[in-house]
């Protein structure tokens, strides 16, 4: 049965989610208090669908039908008939509390209320509701129309019925769904931290420059982008803010410690592509920095970042954030990693991974390099993540 879907926030993410739901035949109400933003969203959806028509994915008639599925509303009251509402607004808890509390007075008792937050506690969002068993995290990746992954995050208050309904619905939209515990960063933003953090640490130690580290990760690892190119693409303001919030949320665990290099780039306004300068220069006529393609140094860099990523993935399984399969799915479908990290660990040998981590831990004596207990247990038993 086709549900009536509500989306709050007509920014890039909100309008993308609305388009996905409309393409699947749902009647969608996209709400934003800013009339100009709604107009931009309407034009954005039209342009996006136009490209799909050009690619032969939809006919002109289908485009018109999808567009007619989306209703643009300026007030929360316009969402009163919705059966599932996804909030995609500013990442500020007090704003979300206010919106969810107001929503509850408008919608029916069985309407599911979801947040697209990438890092905030779903349990805390649900605390503003009288009937909190209907709250859930439904986290899409940008752009929502293209990225296949959706993390679904039940809060401690969420009912089984809400979980099942959300999973079933999002899967029917053709998305790859992973279930994860309501912990900071969920799967992707938690497990991916060393990709940025360890690369920055390697730079700060003077082992290699930005271009060389990027080359090492793409050349040896097959990653589509190196960490510094990717941080410039995401925006250093955004990436740094996520790192800082994850660090704070984990009670300042040194594994997630932010970098002064990125903080200073962010403070200077060197956000990346969007400002014309980040770790690299993007203005016309500026010289491209060439990587030092030293195979020995490159391999050291790649292996160091990779074992840190594997250690974090193992920790997500150890702390029951998600299953082995869902952790690997999240990293391949959510951030385009060339392989699932735990499958990669099996391939390299868990004893090899543990040896590398022990070397780093012995050398630095820092908690950020401590090998995960699950990894140690598995090596002792001769186990693999995939039997």
315: Cα within 13 Å, side-chain hemisphere: 23
DSSP 92-129: -HHHHHHHHHHHHTTS-TT-EEEE--SSS-HHHHHTT-
Contact 314, 358 (CB under 8 A): no
The two structure tokens encoding residue 232: 């410039």
**Spatial CB neighbours of 323, under 8 Å, sequence gap ≥ 6:** 179, 317
Q: Is 336 left (phi over 0), alpha (psi -120 to 50) or beta?
A: left
Q: Which residues of 120-155 are buried (b: 16+ CB within 10 A; e: fewer)?
A: bbbbebbbbbeebbbbbbbbbbeebbebebbbbbbb
Cα 167 to Cα 104, 115, 326: the distances in Å are 22, 14, 13
Query: What percent of the residues of the chain are helix, what percent strand, and what percent coil, each to the nearest 5?
Result: 55, 10, 35
Q: The tokens 């679904």 sit on which residue?
A: 152
Find the distance separating the first CA and the last CA of the chain, reported in whole Å: 39
- State how far the Cα of 282 lies from the Cα of 273, in Å rounded to an integer: 6
3-state secondary structure of 380: helix
CA-nearest of 261, 257, 280, 340 to 306 is 340
3-state secondary structure of 10: coil
- State how far the Cα of 157 lies from the Cα of 3, in Å rounded to an integer: 23
- Active site (catalytic) residues: 118, 139, 151, 189
Q: ∠ at Cα 162 (159, 167), nearest 5°? A: 130
């Amino acid at each position: 049965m086709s549900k009536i879907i509500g989306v709050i926030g007509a920014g890039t993410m909100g309008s993308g989610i609305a388009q996905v739901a409309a393409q699947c035949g749902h009647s969608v109400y996209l709400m934003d208090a800013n009339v100009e933003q709604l107009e931009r969203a309407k034009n954005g959806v039209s342009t996006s669908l136009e490209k799909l028509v050009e690619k032969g994915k939809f006919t002109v008639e289908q485009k018109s039908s999808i567009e007619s599925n989306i209703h643009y509303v300026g007030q929360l009251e316009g969402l009163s008939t919705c059966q599932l509402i996804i909030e995609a607004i500013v990442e500020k808890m007090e704003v979300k509390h206010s919106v969810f509390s107001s929503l509850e007075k408008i919608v029916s008792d069985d309407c599911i209320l979801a947040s697209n937050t990438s890092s905030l506690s779903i349990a805390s969002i649900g605390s503003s509701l009288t009937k909190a068993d209907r709250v859930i995290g439904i986290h899409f990746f940008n752009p929502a129309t293209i990225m296949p992954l959706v993390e679904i995050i039940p809060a401690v208050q969420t009912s089984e019925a809400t979980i099942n309904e959300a999973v079933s619905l999002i899967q029917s939209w053709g998305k790859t769904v992973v279930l994860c515990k309501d912990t900071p960063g969920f799967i992707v933003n938690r497990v991916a931290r060393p990709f940025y953090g360890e690369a920055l640490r390697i730079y700060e130690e003077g082992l290699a420059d930005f271009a060389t580290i990027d080359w090492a990760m793409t050349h040896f690892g097959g990653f589509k982008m190196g960490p510094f190119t990717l941080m410039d693409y995401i925006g250093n303001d955004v990436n740094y803010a996520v790192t800082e919030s994850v660090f704070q949320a984990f009670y300042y665990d040194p594994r997630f410690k932010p970098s002064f290099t990125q903080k200073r780039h962010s403070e200077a306004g060197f956000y990346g592509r969007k400002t014309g300068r980040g770790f690299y220069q993007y203005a016309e006529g500026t010289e491209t920095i060439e990587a030092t393609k030293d195979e020995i140094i490159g391999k050291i860099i790649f292996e160091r970042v990779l074992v840190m990523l594997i250690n974090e993935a193992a920790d997500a399984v150890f702390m029951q954030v998600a299953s082995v399969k869902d952790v690997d799915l999240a990293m391949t479908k959510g951030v385009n990693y060339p392989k699932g990290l735990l499958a990669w660990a099996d391939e390299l040998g868990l004893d090899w991974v543990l040896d590398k981590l022990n070397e780093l831990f012995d050398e630095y004596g820092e908690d950020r390099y401590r090998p995960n207990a699950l990894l140690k247990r598995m090596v002792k038993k001769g186990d693999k993540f995939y039997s």
